[in-house]
Amino acid sequence: MIRNRAARLPVFTALIALALMLVSPGVIAEDKSDDPEYWLQRLGPALTKTSYRGVFVYARGDQVSSMQVAHRYRDGMVEERLVMQDGQIGEIVRKGMNVICVLPALGRMELNNVIPSGPFAEAFTNQLMPVDRWYRPEITGRDRIAGHDVVRLALNARDSLRYSHQLWLEESTGLPLKGKVLSISGDVLEYFHFTSLTISDNLADHEFMVQSEGREVYRTLAPQSSVKPEESMEGWTLGWRPNGFQPAAAPRSGSGQAVAFSDGLASFSVFVEAAAGAGMPSGASKIGATTVYMRRLEKNAEDFLVTVVGEIPLETALKVAQSVDIEDSVVLGARVP
């Protein structure tokens, strides 16, 4: 009997091991769903590769607006259509790198700048930004948004140089259905919130076609590699920036230069150019989470305008703007002496 029991033991152990192997994928999946890192990693692909249509509201300061959006990913290409639901009718349709903007009332809108997820988007979301170094990620619960089960992810800033964020991520795809930006004291500065949402791989072609009448503007997006952020800082230097903010994009900026920085969640842009004529006034303004700070800077008897725009606290914007130094005024469009 004893011998029999001893002989049976390895069989029993093997059965236990086999059972654990069969069970473990489920266990791991369950563990992952409580792991904020797992959700952070899903975020980038979810934004690009999920196909959906819906309506969301967006609020900042005392402005609230409603927008309808359709997004699909097919044959490696992003197609999007965004229709403003309030005020003047307008829509933006993107198919891969081609963008059509129909803006009957806003003739002055610069198409280059309203493209919602331009050529930087894919490149950026592929970057592995160590968001958890600057924010404390935490799953704070589960909820339901626009009829979908969501996971609530809090990203609390680890310092006072940036705002905290909260995201409500759809459970099956990781798509953010609600987002808030919070001040250091916990006040909501801005938010978006889907009020209706359909996730489907079968969105009809006509949902991605221009449907309103008006002035159409066509544009093909330039490849991202045309200007590197570092190259755009020629002629000026930034002496300080909050930890974690890396150059992420080099936008066009008239005669001057501009660089955008991001820490993976928040971003700010620094514009530097020669101040023409009476120029711009100096000072700060805020709406929602967005801060604008403009500062005049004199170098070699030439005036320059430094502007910082971003979803960062005023104090951070001030420090960034004050750390800008002009090295070569000619590069920045100043008159040649």
263-322 residues near another protein, rule: CB under 8 A: 264-269, 271, 280-287, 290, 292-294, 307, 309-311, 313-315, 318
Helix and strand numbers, DSSP H then E, in the chain: 6, 19
Q: Cα angle vertex 267, ends 265, 271, to 5°?
A: 170
- C-alpha distances (whole Å) from 237 to each of 16, 113, 270, 309, 336 are 63, 24, 11, 17, 20
Distance (Å, whole) CA 266 – CA 311? 6
Considering the rule CB under 8 A, would residue 47 count as an interface residue with another protein?
Answer: yes
Which residue is listed with tokens 């081609």?
98
Distance (Å, whole) CA 137 – CA 157? 9
CB of 314 to another protein, least distance (A): 5
Among positions 189-248, residues that touch another protein (CB under 8 A) are 190, 192, 194, 248
Among positions 128-157, residues that touch another protein (CB under 8 A) are 129, 131
CB of 62 to another protein, least distance (A): 7
The size of the interface with another protein (CB under 8 A), counted in residues, is 83
- Take residue 200 and report the two structure tokens written for it: 């489907």
First to last CA, the chain: 104
Site for another protein (CB under 8 A): which residue of 1, 4, 25, 108? 108
Considering the rule CB under 8 A, would residue 35 count as an interface residue with another protein?
Answer: no
Considering the rule CB under 8 A, would residue 79 count as an interface residue with another protein?
Answer: no
CB of 257 to another protein, least distance (A): 12
CB of 131 to another protein, least distance (A): 7
Per-residue DSSP letter, 69? E
Which residue is listed with tokens 């152990």?
13
Contact string 159-198 vs another protein (x = CB under 8 A): -x----x-x--------x--x-x-xxx-x--x-x-x----
CB of 17 to another protein, least distance (A): 40
Distance (Å, whole) CA 188 – CA 181? 6
**Considering beta carbons, is residue 249 or 297 the nearer one to another protein?**
249
Burial track 176-214 (b if 16+ CB lie within 10 A, e otherwise) = bbbbbbbeeeeeebbbbbbeebebeeebeeeebeeeeeb
Only one of the segments 17-25, 115-123, 144-152, 234-242 lies at the binding site for another protein (rule: CB under 8 A); that segment is: 115-123
Considering the rule CB under 8 A, would residue 334 count as an interface residue with another protein?
Answer: no
Among positions 247-266, residues that touch another protein (CB under 8 A) are 248-249, 251-254, 258, 260, 262, 264-266
CB of 18 to another protein, least distance (A): 40
